[in-house]
Chains A and B, each alone.
Chain A
Amino acid sequence: MILTFNTLVAVSLGYVAMLFAVAFAADRRARAGRGGWLRSPLIYTLSLSIYCTAWTFYGAVGYAARSGLEYLTIYLGPSLVMVGWWWVVRKLVRIGRAQRITSIADLVSSRFGKSVPIGALVTLIAVAGVTPYIALQLQSISLTFAAFTEGLEGGRADVDFVALWTAIGLAVFTILFGTRNLDPSERHHGIVMAVAVEAVVKLFALLAVGVFVVWGLGGGVGGILDRIDRAPIPMWQGNGGRWVGLTFLSAAAFLTLPRMFHVLVVENDDDRHLAVASWAFPLYVLLMSLFVVPIAVVGLDRLPEGSNPDLFVLALPISEGHGGLALLAFLGGFSSATSMVIVATIALATMVSNHIVAPLWLSTRRPDQVSRDLRGTILLARRASVGGVLSLGYVYFQITGSGVALSSIGLIAFAGVAQILPALLGGVFWRGGTAKGAGAGLAIGATVWAWTLFLPSFGLAVIPATVLENGPYGLDWLRPRALFGLAGLDPLLHAVIWSLLLNATAFTLVSLLTFPKPLERLQGAQFVNVFERAQPGRAWSRSGAEVEDLLVLAQRVLGTEAALDLFGAEAGRQGKSGHLPDPTPAFLQRLERELAGSVGAAAAHALVGQLVQGPGVSVEDLMAVAGETAQILEYSARLEQKSAEQERTARALREANDKLTQLARQKDAFLSRISHELRTPMTAIRSFSSLLAEDGLSPLEAQRFARIVEAEAQRMTRLLDDLLDLSVLRDGQVSLKRQHGLLADVIDRALLSAGVARAGLRVLRDPGQEAVAISTDLDRLAQVFINLASNAAKYCDADRPELRISVHRRGGQVIVDFADNGSGIPVPEREVIFESFARLSGRRSGRPEPSGAGLGLAICREVMARLGGSIAYLPGQGGAAFRVAFPQGLAAAAE
């Protein structure tokens, strides 16, 4: 195979064209919704292989040739993360999903209250750290071009020229596939697919070279082991500290490198993919590192003294005349470099446009000038950022030239992005972390890193030898290689220890000393507790609208059925089947209206705005939401008040109902009693009258029976009279006749009517007391006295029954006591004697006189109430005693 510069260019272009095709096809499939297999764990794992850049592809061999097995640390860190720390990655992935995270800067700034300065700081650190790394890739491509074309016709390729065009070509590819549109999830199926293909290419290429070297050149496994034993490289060179440090550094970088974060978290479709990746990725890395040492030792053996060990992978096939294998190796390196550059550029461009350009652009506009649609602006910013990042990489490449070893550039980048680690881990595991703490840690860590590692890497032009030796302005303790007097340490380890130590210390101390703002606390809780509570309400901070997300939102607000109906109808209108219409502006407006019906206009606008337009809720939106919330609260307070009123009404109704039920029961009992009271005399009347109708009664018997019939008939009449009387009294329909008279006269009349003399009751009176002139309804008063006297006559159970009537006056009241000398009324029955039909038990039987119906005292109570007085049982008098009290002169108003 004849290799010329032009062939190489043609192969490169062809390879890039293939990548274009892959990415394009994958994008198309994903867009058409047929990209299920694009989201498999295998593709995810392969996409993680962008960790293995040109540095890994070429540089690992160089590293091994110089420092033995130390290169393994670069693989060890990520493998440890995937195997042992995959739960950290899972948490990051879960947070990324819940918060619609687009980059590591976004995650850190979101965690710390969506802080703009933190986002910008992380972005700056990332750009500073990754730019050399991008330069490294450009360098590797141009170096391989140079190596390839050396000694070929057409001459050695112009390294600068190749690097420039590589940068331009990568920029075009990235802009085409990475910033074609604004995707809310920042997922790029085309690019991920292309990266996966490149992962296969570079693995295959390296394995092919390795197999060739071991079995083609090295004499099989045994021969290689011999060579390794004889090799001039110290396999276990270096101290344990450096091993631990490098392993830790590569583990940290695996989490914090923007491109790694992008494929690990942002492009992750399903956190279950991590389960596969946790073993598959270490396996991939193992395969990638399998032939590193053999290639290094064979290269050292067979290639001329002074050959660049970073190029052994390429140089060995070339020197052995295997052009095809060399081309494959070249493509492997090329794909390693391009995939890294593309993803890193996308990640950085997203960060730069979202966290530096957009805030700056917004801050220069008045709020009313900010159009609803930021999409165009952000897209433009992102494309410009892609160009900017690649330009920076190219400029760095120009400045540092090709003099620096690949591996050292990579480690500088690792140490730089590792500064994000304290804020990242502290943010997702410690609720106490604050924005000020994170800012302090990041700033101090980045400064120390720049001073001790990054700036010195530019050479003596940036950090003069005197500063390196004696510190700036002679400040000894600020020497970049011996900060605070810590001399004699490996420069990398020195930088990593100091920068991360000071970073983490500043983060912790400042966090403890400062108080988080409400949004920080809210976000902190959501990040740290992402597994405990999936808080749907705050799941948007992104730009662009994905219709699934809108549907999820709508389902949450409107309910599943209503949301599906709404979306289904719109899809039908757009001529699509299913429930996922295009999120056209008209539909978004409709959706917002529908949501407003449920959550209020401001909240609906903020919700849809969040999904459609992205970054952050504006203060105005928040105020509007707060206002609406207040209204809703007020409304619900009113509702509560109303329901309390209803409660009261219901209670009143219930009480009224209870009272009615009770009244109905009383009425039933009353009727039952009346029935009984009427039937009892009726029974005697019927029985005796039918006896009277028979023949054969003696005249005496007949006479007696007739008298009984008469008495019972009278009893019935009295009962009916009493009933009517009571009814009238209770209705208040009674008219009182006010008369003047003497109390003694009223008592005389009553005793006569009650027939006390006939009953054998002796009445004891004091005429002096009774000489009281009264002015009231004398007939009604007499009625009360009659009742009391006849009760005494009927129920006094003394052998010589007596009734004592005593009168006294108190104020305007006349008090008349009726007390007999019987056994009185038992205490429990004193309560009920004034009720209707309250006939007492244990009355004397055998008397021919029929007893009353039990209405007497009830009537007395009603009468006394009408007369403005009272009647009560008077205890402690020996027998039954009643006290009647009434005003001496009935008030005219009561008439």
Chain B
Amino acid sequence: MTTANPQTNETVETIHEETVETNHDDHGHHEQPPKGIMRWILTTNHKDIGTLYLWFSLTMFFIGGAMAMVIRAELFEPGLQLVEPHFFNQMTTVHGLIMVFGAVMPAFTGLANWLVPMMIGAPDMALPRMNNWSFWILPFAFLILLSSLFMEGGGPDFGWTFYAPLSTKYSGDSTALFVFAIHIMGISSIMGAINVIVTIFNLRAPGMTWMKMPLFVWTWLVTAFLLIAVMPVLAGAVTMVLTDKFFGTSFFDAAGGGDPVMFQHIFWFFGHPEVYIMILPAFGIVSAIIPAFSRKKLFGYSSMVYAVASIAILSFVVWAHHMFTTGMPKVALLFFMYCTMLIAVPTGVKVFNWVATMWKGSLSFEPPMLFAVAFVVLFTIGGFSGLMLAMTPADFQYHDTYFVVAHFHYVLVTGAIFSIMAAAYYWLPKWTGHMYSMTLAKWHFWCSVISVNVLFFPMHFLGLAGMPRRIPDYNIQFANVNEIVSIGGFAFGLSQLLFLALVIKCCRGGEKAPAKPWDGAEGLEWEIPSPAPYHSFTTPPEVK
């Protein structure tokens, strides 16, 4: 440290001064946060904002989950019994929107807020005030979206993909609210992404070179660039829907010279990178947890970094695999098919690296590791069904069936959500300063992993047999399997209450957590005490 050159020292001091300055106006130089609600509204502290994001995400997870319960209850039996088809459509639509934009993405942003500064030895995020804004506009976006469900004419009912002309011609007036809600969510994600990039570029501790950064930081950096590249395109798409519906433009209206298929191109140009936005940080989490509980270094660190980057780049040239049945020319079908299959290569590199990390490791199966291992196995199942869908001729059979529903729930629930659960179990002692109940956590894991497979695995067969997605009724031949699926669904939903109970219990108290509760864990975040002090790394650590 003493040998560091003068310039580095100056930067260090500057950072220190700024942190103090940031906190100056609202609560001076106190080490502890102020009490009461204003702490949360005015906070610019990355840990507070991370906590807000995570609680918000958990709330949305339960709201979106409740909608899934409505869907599964209606599909428990053939015929229409509980809800009107119109309401069913709103449930499938809003369930998707809430889970994508309200549960998974804010959870990752929350984790980034908590962990990125601690992992790179920074005192806070680079842009703390913007950080406050990017969280606090989010609840309003979802308030607008959810309130539309209670208005005359109902909420959005055109599927989370809001294909034109469903969203431009056949939708209710609430489409305007939907559009504004998406705009706000997009602005929030973009601000979050800018913050992450600036933090990682400018606030790394001395010695924290690019190729020493933990993979969670790497994956989030790539994710942030993806967000900046595609969220504005989504904003453009919803704006076009808005003007087509209310202001007489014809972007997607064939009668006026537009083209509804173009909507799908624009939407999926956003939509496919979005898929990786929801999974890359998960790769980072798993790459932190598996080495810790294998007591080995991560196998193939640099290949992991390159794999993440290549997945991100490839994600921009595969969008039309969502549209194989729109009648594209053969050349385009082949191009998108091969590019899609190409993604299996870097993804395979990652999966094999995780397995190689575990190989001959000294494994132990604490709750974070259980979820991480389940992630590797179940995410790979989702990857395989993705490969099946990537084959154009086969996709004509699978398109718009429950096979697709099974596929993306394997990658998003047992992929993204399981990784978030794993992250919560891994870093919860660091966040709260308490150990949680291992017994309860293991109950949560086993209930979840069994029920989630009862829920989603049979959906593959429903899809192969031809059951279409997004329809409230189905042929009697699908009745038995749907019963099983619904039972799995209810069980999975109830299992998550165990998680809620565990987190609340852990926040309130429990056995005191040491600075590093997992003996194999590595990283700067474990060098500060648990719970992490309100201000950490105000003097940057030296990374060797």
Q: Do A and B interact with each other, yes or no?
A: no
